[in-house]
Structure 1
Amino acid sequence: MLTRRTFLATTAAVASVRAIPQVAKSPAPRRILTLVYDKALGGMRAIDKLVR
């Protein structure tokens, strides 16, 4: 018997199976940490960027 709950669970399982290989293929984004001098703070400040 197909209920709303089983339909949603089946749909979510199929979507996750299709999405996982695409996520695994993409490379992990790199983090670039840059230190800059901030005059307003009167000291160094860290800027973190994610680069794909």
Structure 2
Amino acid sequence: MPDFTRRGFIAASLAAGTVRAIPAIATRTGGRRILTLVYDKSLGMMRAVERLVP
């Protein structure tokens, strides 16, 4: 078990709460997700771009 300071414990607790809350928020927004593949010249490869459309 790691030896947490009070500040480290609070930060870890907030991070864990955020990870649990984000999927619930994402599913509540409604609308559709559109995934588009675009060619990025700077990377020299394809990358995915995701948009939310109400």
TM superposition score normalised by structure 1: 0.50
Structure ID, larger Rg: 1
